Structures are given as structure tokens and as C-alpha cells.
Structure 1
Amino acid sequence: MSLRLSSTLLALALLAGCAAAPTQRAAVTPPAASPPVATPTVAANDNLNAVAWSQHAIEHDLIYLQTYRDAQSRLLAALHDRHWDALGRNDRTTPLKGLKPAVILDIDETVLDNSPSAARMIQGNREYNEAEWAAWCREAIARALPGAVEFTQFAAKHGIAVIYISNRAKDLDQVTLANLRKAGLPVAGPESFLGLGTVVEGCEQAGSEKGCRRQLVARHYRVLMQFGDQIGDFVDVPLNTLDGRRKAVADYLPWIGTRWFVLPNPTYGSWEPALFDNDWSASPDQRRQKKIEALRTH
């Protein structure tokens, strides 16, 4: 074997050895993980979708327009029918003959939009409270809901008294009347607003029920139509349970859309406590669980 060949074989052997030897790498220590930053947890507010829908869904506005326009198209026929009356049997305490015509409307979520107040509570993660509600009312900036101004102005133009029965406290009467006027709704005078706490001689009011105030109107007016977003705007509800609420209106279903006009309110109302036994002393989590259990899945 020549010297050149031996040298070549030796070089190949050395290269093979180098290829087989594992590469030695310096151990790399990963950097220590940063501790997680604690972020405050705010529970989702169950009223968010309802308030967002009330403020931004065109469907909401169309329902109000549809309701008030339909009522307006029927109003003059009701006016000329001397036997037409929209008060329930417990509220019609005076014969109709000789009485002037009127319509009765609730205020909040019926003619005035208070969704900004609800939005503030959502953004501040707060529940409803009387002080905050009264402060909102005193701002007197609630807007009229779609169709309400046109309907009430039409009624007033045709000599029909427009009367507002509301569960706003009686001491909010002046700011409420100011808000109604500012929004373009007709107000004949202080007697147009019958708030919570209105004294009706000979009638004892039960809680926030409106029966006594409807009876007061009945003494002076033939009521052509009633408008509201709660069953209690039309008839007293002796038992605020799901079954009790259905029974309260059962006899008046033919009046819906002719004498009684019901408007949507998914943000609050007596329908809600009916789902948790009217127990406001229960915690928010307990009330929420009751509402979840009440959901139908079939």
C-alpha cells in the first residue's frame, strides 16, 4: 500500500469518528416564569342584554310605534262608543253616563325611556336602589319612547284627558311633570300625574298597586284605553306568582290590543320576583339560581 493511500484511509477514519461523536451543548436554564398578575373579577350583569336591546334594537322601537299607531287608529271609535270602557270590573266604581273621556298611561318604559339609568347601574356593577333612581328622575332628561308623543297629542287634540298613573313617588311629581313636558308629552296640570302615595278617599292602597288610583280616575272619566309595561298597570295582582299573574289577566284577554296595550320591558318588573318567590332578601346568586331553575328546556 502506498503512503498516499494510507494517509487517505487514516483521514477517512478520523472523519467517521468525528461524525459518530455526539455534539456537546451547554445546558440552557429556562428563565423563571413571571408570577400571574391578579385581575379583579366582575360578575357578568344579567341585565346587560336586556338594556342593550332596549337601547339599540330597532325591533324595540318598532314594537312601540306599532302599538301606539294601532291604538291611535282605534281611539276615535272608542270615543264615540258611549259604552266603551277600559277599566276592569274592580276599578269601574262609577256609572259611565256623563263622564268625560280619558286614557291612562304608565310612565316608566311606557312613555319615558329610563334605560340610561339602568345602563349606569350596569357599568357601575350596582343593583337598583331608591336613591339612585330618585336622582335620575330629578335630572328630568328621560326621552319619550317611539310613538308615545304622537298618540298622546292626538288624544289631547280630540278632547281626551291624558292621565299618567305611575309608581314614581309623589314627591317626584314636579320633576316628572317637567320631564313629560320637555319630552313633548301633553300635561294638563298637576292632576295629570297620580304617583305612589296619592291618597284616595275611601280606598286603601295595597303596596304599590294602582287600583285605588284607577278608581279615582273612574270617578271623573270614562277610560278609553290603558297603556303599560306591567300587568299591575291594568289590574291589581293579588298573588305575584306565575299562576297568580296569569289568573289576574285571564278575564281580560279579549281586551289586549283593543282597550289594553301592553309594551315590552325585559329589564325589570314584577315578573322577575315572581321567579324567586318575591324574596328580595335572597342574595343575587340565590335569586339568579332560582331564575335558572325556572327556565323551560322543552
Structure 2
Amino acid sequence: MRLRLSTSLLALALLAGCAGAPRHPAATATLAAPATAATTVAANDNLNAVAWSQTAIEHDLIYLQTYRDAQARLLAAMKDRHWDALAKDERVAPAGGLQPAVVLDIDETVLDNSPYQARLVRSGGEYNEADWAEWCRQGSARALPGVVEFTQFAAKHGIAVLYVSNRAKDLDQVTLANLRKVGLPVFGPQAFLGLGTFVEGCEQVGTEKGCRRQLISRKYRVLMQFGDQIGDFVTVLANNAAGRQRAMVPYMNWIGSRWFVLPNATYGSWEPALFNNDWSAPPEQRRRQKIDALRYE
């Protein structure tokens, strides 16, 4: 695990905390620094989330804790012939006799893409497919804490490691190269099921992963799944607060045994659920709807 919170970073974090504290107008006028090009970048609501994911040791410890706990449970799950971690409507073939597997999302589950998010904060920009694809092609994303040890342990015990990602299918080779580079086991190109993977007899809706999980069910008995949002585990029919809750209710007992959920405050389907999934709305309108979704008591 890389040490994220060095002394210099801690100092910067403390300074940032002071800068973000409420001030009286007179104090602000006294302490304000002269305007420079470096201080003219507009405030970005994602700053704290990205800073936390990159510098907070707590972030790393959550990942390490999750993968260590999963590893401690893995062999017992493999020995239980009735154990299966696929949602019931996605198990389209009997699991008996199939090779065991673990299924992992990639971004913010296996690979750390926080530098891409940091670039957006610095530039004041928003996600776009061209810049994202360029970041993926660089192949410089690092493994998140604990995942290399867990997946290597699984592979050592004959458990297939499969990656189901909403990276585009044409990014498969650069993605597989990045996975290998950081030490993750890759069992050939079939280990990566990206967005656009064709599954006969199943029509994919948007970026939902249900069809790809059905494809996996034909060849594997899934022991565990890992992801940073609920769509990595189950199909979400309505991406709003009620629909997301409804999708998870039947599987709450699986959390921490079959399904392992990792933190991602920087992006995810939780965000558009707050503004009716309308990315065409102006940023100011989306921000207002997110503020309106907050609880004050």
C-alpha cells in the first residue's frame, strides 16, 4: 500500500482546511492574497472528494480492510457448492460444476483514476469521453490497496478473476495492459467484459452490466463481486433514491459476504439520481438540485 499522507501533504491539508473555514468580511479583506493566474480557477465541488481519495489514509484502509476480509472468506465460499454471488435473475445456467470466479469492476474498484479526476478539478472541466479514453490509453492508473494480493490469492487457488467494466470495448487491450502492469492476474482477453460486449439473447440497456453477468453465469460460479456502485452488482431499473433502495433490498444480507462495496465520492450513478439523470441540464441547475437533496435535520 502506498503511503498517501506525507508530512508535506498533511501541512497542505491543514492549510486547505483553514482556507475553507467561514470568515468575517473584514478578515477576508485582510488575509486575501493578490489575484494571480493560479487563483482564478473556479471552485470545483469535487475538490474535497478527490483530495480525500488521494491523500486520506482512511481511504486506503477501507480498501485494504475490504479485500483482506474478502480473502479470509474466499476459500470457505469456494467449498460451499451452493454458494453463488450472482443476483437470482442473472443466473441463467445452473452453477453446479462450473469453475469458481470472482467478478470485479475496474475503475475505483481495481484501478485508481483519481489523477484524471484531479485534472478536471484543476482545469475546471467536466468528464468527456475523449479525455477519459486518452487517460485510459496512458495506462498509468495504479492498483488500489489490497486488490493485487486478493486477486493473486484467488488465481493461486484456481479461481478465475473477471473484470466487468463500463470502459468501452475498444479500450480492452490498453486496460488489460494496465492491469498486468500493476500485477493483477489476467487470463487472456476474455477476462475483460467492457461496454459493448455482445451477449446473445440479451439486450443491454444503457450501461447496465446485467447481460455481461448473465454471460458469466453460463461458464462460472461466482463467489464474490466487487464494485464502487450498486450497478456493479444488480440491475437498477430506476436510478432514483427509491429505485436504488428497491434494487438492493433483496440482497442486503449479501453485503460483506458475497458483495463487497467500495467508496467513491467523486462520481457514480448516485450523483445523477439527484437531478433526474439529466446531464443536459446546466451545471447550476444540477448543483441546486443536489443542494435540495440534502437533509438538514
**Which residue of 2 is the match for residue 112 of structure 1?**
111
The Cα shift of 1:41 comes to 4.9
- 1:200 equivalent in alignment to 2:199: yes
Aligned to 2:138: 139
| SS of alignment partner, residue 44 of structure 2 | coil
Give per-residue Cα distances to partners, 1:25-50, cap 9 Å, x unaligned. Answer: xxxxxxxxxxx989885431000000
CA distance in 2, matches of 1:240, 1:38: 42
**Alignment partner, residue 183 of structure 2:** 184
Take 2:78 and 2:120, find their aligned partners in 1: how far apart are those partners?
A: 42
Q: Are 2:41 and 2:122, in contact at CA under 8 Å, matched by a contact in 1?
A: no
* Cα offsets for 1:195-251 (capped at 9, x unmatched): 000000011101100000000000000000000001000001010001100000010
Equivalent residue of 1:108, what SS?
Answer: coil
SS at match of 2:101: strand
CA distance in 1, matches of 2:194, 2:35: 51
Residue in structure 2 matched with residue 292 of structure 1 by the alignment: 291
1:280 & 1:177 partners in 2: Cα distance?
30
Distance 1:266 1:141 in 2: 21
Residue 12 of structure 1: aligned partner: none
Give the match for residue 46 of structure 1. Answer: 45
Which runs of at least 4 in structure 1 moved beyond 6 Å after TM superposition?
36-40
Distance in 2 separating the partners of 1:85 and 1:260: 10
CA distance in 1, matches of 2:35, 2:163: 53
SS in 1 for 2:289: helix
Output the amino acid matched with 1:121: L
Matched, 1:165 2:198: no
Corresponding residue number in structure 2 for 1:260 = 259
Give the match's secondary structure for 2:173.
helix
Distance in 2, Cα, partners of 1:227 & 1:157: 19
Choose 1 or 2 for highest CA Rg.
1
Aligned counterpart, 2:214: 215
State the percentage of identical aligned residues: 75
Label 1:43 to 1:202 Cα distance change in 2 as closer, same or farther (>3 A): same
Judge conservation of contact 2:208–2:231 (CA < 8 Å) in 1: yes
Alpha-carbon distance in structure 2 between the residues aligned to 1:102 and 1:154: 12
Shift of 1:97: 1.4
| Corresponding letter in the other structure for 1:153 | Q
TM-score w.r.t. structure 2 length? 0.87
CA-CA distance at 1:99 after TM superposition: 0.6
Question: 1:232 corresponds to which residue?
Answer: 231
Q: 1:157 to 1:37 in 2, by over 3 A?
A: closer
| SS of residue in 2 equivalent to 1:90 | helix
Distance 1:149 1:200 in 2: 29
CA–CA distance in 1 between the matches of 2:87 and 2:67? 21
Whole-angstrom CA distance in 2 between matches of 1:112 and 1:42: 28
Distance of 2:36 and 2:284 partners within structure 1: 23
The whole-number CA distance in structure 2 between the counterparts of 1:135 and 1:43 is 24
Aligned partner of 1:102 in structure 2 is 101
RMSD (Å) for aligned C-alpha atoms:
1.3
Please state whether the residue corresponding to 2:164 is helix, strand or coil. strand
Shift of 1:116: 0.3
